[in-house]
Amino acid sequence: MGKNVAFHFLIFGIVQGVGFRPFVDNLAHEHDIVGSVANRGSFVEIFAKGAAGDMDDFMREIRTRAPERSIILKIEAKKISPDDVACDDFSIIESEREAGDIFVSPDIATCEKCHSELYDKSNRRYLHPFINCTSCGPRLTIFDAMPYDRERTSMGEFPMCDACADEYHDPASRRYDAQPVCCNECGPTVRILDGDETGSDAIKRVRRVIADGGIAAVKGIGGFHLVCDATNEKVVAELRRRKHRPTKPFAVMTRDIEAAEREAEVPTSARAILCGHQRPIVLLKKRDGGNIVSGVAPYNSKVGIMLPYAPIHYLLFDYPIDDTKMPDVLVMTSGNPSGAPICRTDDDAREALGSIADVIMTHNRRIRVRADDTVMDFYDDEPYMIRRSRGYAPLPVMMSASREKCVLAIGGELKNTFCLAKNGLYYPSSYIGDLSDVRTVAALKETAERMMALLEMRPDVIACDMHPRYQSSRVAREMASRLGVPIIEVQHHYAHILSCMAENDVAADKEVIGVAMDGTGYGTDGTIWGGELMRASYHGFRRLGSITPFHWAGGDRASREGWRIAANMIYDLMHGDKKRTHEICDALHLATETQVDAQMFMEDNHINCVTSTSAGRLFDAVSAVLGICRASSFEGEAAMRLQYAAECAQSVQRECESKRSDLSDENELTTKFEDKAKRLAYFFHDEFAKIIAESATRAAEKEGLDTVALSGGVFQNTLLLSMAEKRLKQAGLIVLRHHLIPPNDGGICLGQAVAAMMQ
């Protein structure tokens, strides 16, 4: 058969560092295609010549048989003259730079093949803490510049040994063209920071410390983790003490999926994600009789679980050349001082973790971009993102509605992420953190510069929040003046709604009813918004309503201490009757008389007192009133515990209903259900959802719209979300909600980017 057809292909997507070129090479040989494949930095270019039938198969199979870790976003195919492909074999051409949309692969968890080699005594990578291949290993975190080649990664410092080089250059090897490939001979090494032990001695030492009830800091893929035995009450309490973190849940890593299933209920859908190559932390319902001590995730029905994703994690659990017996579950929490970004360098770790960890294990492969662990909940059997980072960032969100310009959206103040956008592709960054800490602000600047360089983007406009005193806005203004580009300020809750619309790829001219139930954000009227109903499109919004404004007296302290908000709400409900206010606050054990007086004084004299419609603060206040949580030790604690109380009531109620049909002992069940605070917590959720649904439905009718978008941090509360969504759907409305972009402030960079793009 003659080779009489020829094509020129451009393939866009995650096609770098995932074995795409060798795959194309093999496929071409299989189908008797001649020509070439080249990595162009932002895309893969193929020249192909062959017989018509072969070419059809080749084209189809590029999509259907593409390497597991690749993501093809677009293929441009152009027919060319067979004379333009003047070769009689197929070959891989070395990298050359060319401009275009750039895709950087996220980091990928250790694959099964590498995992079995890791424990194969006869393999030359036996117990190698950095084993990887074309389908697994670090990517974003070791990147310096495109195109993705070894010298432009942190592995450039580690020349390959002959054996590794042979595999790297052999198309038949599963390490062909794998940039981080290395072995015990030529790869990076682990060592104890400021100690003598290296290699296996270092690993043994860390295992011993953990098994003996100590705390270790371990450098992984995207930063350091603090690690301890999750089945040891004492060490978990000690970690909380040293980290100054009294109740915020810790994530855990289990030895394997079986251990995860012993600790928590793992639905099939969550199992696939838990075992998948992104390896996020998945929030799963705790199981009775699990070994994780209650101090790991107190006041919470769920616990965040992840499986090992780097060789070093596997070696912590199983190290055949060491007899230390390790637990099946380890606390694995970000190694950072509260508020600061995750530690990335030895200096960071020494300074920040030296007083927390009994031992620090580091290694000499540099982390260039931090990557915290991704956290996701499950809702309606689908992932519901809480923190989008390692494994997901910097994959772009694709949007049909777009314009031709380049945008940098700097994001919000809490849970900061930023977003770069160009040509309908929006790249939300990995998690940066809370900008109240100067180190986090520095990390934002540094990471934004790095990503701009990596994705080769120079923004035409920079978007930020409207808040005049946000650090994020200050960073945006600095960058805008340096680059000489305009800045646009986007209202916080409008940005939330836009991020939800963008994630759902809403059409360019569509308008929706936006419901933003959130913590706080600066409103266009200078007050603190947070429970907003709006008519919104990509081009603007109009506020239709909100939670009834209340007095927020006591500034930042009142954002942590819900009893303060509650005291002023009661004062207002009593129409300024101080005596009645005192009686009620006293009966609720809300605060002392002096404390309540102080709150009323601030309100009366307009001292440190603003007006707010924040849904987050309303939840805090209700949590305090019910005696569930008077004050939070971390953002969202009061609301989280209120949700937990409501879920307890819900499950007791379900139990009652199911048992009632068996006509069993009704008295006992009624007693169980009579935990008043829990029942009221449930009642509050239900009523609040009803109010949301009724007002959104009324607004939709009045405005002539059929779609409601739900966003804002309060919708992390899946109980509230389910109650509201159900009612809205019953009212015949289309409900848009988040999936892989967080409803909290970690998602607003996307909304800001869309606003700037469409303006």
Contact residues: Zn ion, CB under 5 A? 111, 114, 133, 136, 161, 164, 183, 185-186
**Farthest-apart Cα atoms in the chain, separation:** 98
Q: How far is the CB of 205 from Zn ion (least distance, A)?
A: 25
Closest to Zn ion by CB, 115 vs 672, is 115
Judged by beta carbon, residue 561 or residue 745, the one nearer Fe ion is 745
- Please report how close the Cβ of residue 556 comes to Fe ion at its closest, in angstroms: 16
| Residue 631 structure tokens | 């004050």
**Shortest Å distance, C-beta 521 to Fe ion:** 5
Q: How far is the CB of 178 from Zn ion (least distance, A)?
A: 8
Residue 518 binds: one of Fe ion, Zn ion, none (C-beta under 5 to 8 A by kind): Fe ion
Cα separation of 463 and 490, whole Å?
A: 7
SS (H, E, C) 75-106: EEEEEECHHHCCCCCEEEECCCCCCCCCCCCC
* Shortest distance in whole angstroms from residue 392 CB to Zn ion: 19
- Residues of this chain that bind Fe ion (CB under 5 A): 518, 745
Residue number, 68 or 194, with CB nearest to Zn ion: 68
- Residue 322 vs 518, nearer CB to Fe ion: 518
Of residues 40 and 363, the one with the C-beta less far from Zn ion:
363
**Among Zn ion, Fe ion, none, residue 185 binds (CB under 5-8 Å by kind):** Zn ion
Nearer to Zn ion, 138 or 147 (CB): 138
CB neighbour class for 527 (10 Å; exposed up to 12, middle 13-18, buried from 19): middle
In whole angstroms, the minimum distance from the beta carbon of 447 to Zn ion comes to: 27
| Residues paired with residue 208 on neighbouring β-strands, in sequence order | none
Chosen from Fe ion, Zn ion, none, partner binding at 687 (C-beta under 5 to 8 Å by type): none
Task: Report the run of H or E that residue 226 belongs to, with start and end.
Answer: strand 224-229
Pick what 347 binds: Zn ion, Fe ion, none; C-beta below 5 to 8 Å, kind-dependent: none
In the complex with Fe ion, the residue whose CB is nearer, 107 or 518, is 518
Distances (CA, A) of 326 to 175, 229, 235, 297, 314: 31, 8, 14, 21, 11
Q: Specify the residue, 365 or 467, whose C-beta has the smaller distance to Fe ion.
A: 467
Which among Zn ion, Fe ion, none contacts residue 161 (Cβ within 5 to 8 A by kind)?
A: Zn ion
Residue 402 CB contacts under 8 Å (≥ 6 apart), including other chains: 421, 423, 424, 757
- Minimum separation from the CB atom of position 71 to Zn ion (A): 18
Q: Which does 296 bind (CB under 5 to 8 A by kind): Zn ion, Fe ion, none?
A: none
Q: Which is nearer to Zn ion, 179 or 416 (CB)?
A: 179
183 binds, among Zn ion, Fe ion, none (CB under 5 to 8 A by kind): Zn ion
Smallest gap from Cβ 273 to Zn ion, in A, equals 19
Q: Which sign, positive or negative, has the C-alpha torsion 395, 400, 403, 404?
A: positive
From residue 470, give the alpha-carbon distance in Å to each of 451, 465, 519, 703.
22, 8, 15, 34
Of 333, 337, 274, residue with least CA distance to 306: 274
H or E element in which residue 36 lies: strand 34-39
Residue 741 interaction partner, one of Zn ion, Fe ion, none, beta carbon < 5-8 Å per kind: none
User: How far out from the chain centre does Cα 236 lie?
Assistant: 24
Least separation in angstroms between CB 180 and Zn ion: 10
- Partner in contact with 328, chosen from Zn ion, Fe ion, none, beta carbon below 5 to 8 Å by kind: none
Task: Return d(Cα 286, Cα 304) in angstroms, integer.
Answer: 9
Shortest reach from residue 188's CB to Zn ion, in Å: 11
Residue least distant from Fe ion (Cβ):
518
Q: Which is nearer to Zn ion, 114 or 756 (CB)?
A: 114
* 194 exposure class (CB count in 10 Å sphere: 0-12, 13-18, 19+): exposed
Shortest distance, position 132 Cβ to Zn ion, whole Å: 5
Rounded least distance, CB 412 to Fe ion, Å: 6
Among the listed residues 541, 548, 542, the one whose alpha carbon sits nearest the alpha carbon of residue 572 = 548
Contact at 8 Å (CB) between 409 and 421?
A: yes
**Which residues are registered as beta bridge partners of 284?**
303
C-alpha of 158 from chain center: 31
In eight-state DSSP terms, residue 371 is -
Distances (CA, A) of 369 to 188, 236, 245: 18, 29, 26
| Nearest-angstrom CA–CA distance, 431 and 414 | 10
Report the partner that residue 164 touches, choosing among Fe ion, Zn ion, none (CB closer than 5 to 8 A by kind). Zn ion
User: In terms of CB distance, is 263 or 518 closer to Fe ion?
Assistant: 518
Alpha helices, DSSP H only, in 411-561? 438-454, 471-483, 492-503, 555-560
Measuring CA to CA, which residue among 337, 342, 341, 346 is closest to residue 365? 346
By a kind-dependent CB cut-off of 5 to 8 A, residue 745 interacts, out of Fe ion, Zn ion, none, with Fe ion
Q: 328 or 518, CB closer to Fe ion?
A: 518
